[in-house]
Amino acid sequence: MPSRRHESLYPGPVCGVDEAGRGPLAGPVVAAAVILPDRGCPRGLDDSKKLTAASRARLHDRLMACAVVGVGIVEAEEIDRLNIYWATMKAMTLAVDAVAAALGHVPGHVLVDGNRLPRWGYAATPIVGGDALAQCIAAASIVAKHTRDTIMIRHAEAYPHYDWHSNKGYAAPAHLRALREHGPSPLHRRSFAPVAQAELVF
Which residue ranges are tagged as binding site for a divalent metal cation? 18-19, 113
Of 63, 85, 76, residue with least CA distance to 164: 76
CA atoms within 13 A on the CB side of 155: 22
Annotated binding-site residue numbers: 18-19, 113
Rounded Cα distance, 149 and 57, in Å: 10
Give 101: exposed, middle or buried? Use CB within 10 Å, 0-12, 13-18, 19+: exposed
**137 vs 110: CA distance, rounded Å:** 9
Per the CB < 8 A criterion, the answer to whether 57 and 150 are in contact is: no
Q: Are 19 and 93 spatial neighbours (Cβ–Cβ below 8 Å)?
A: no
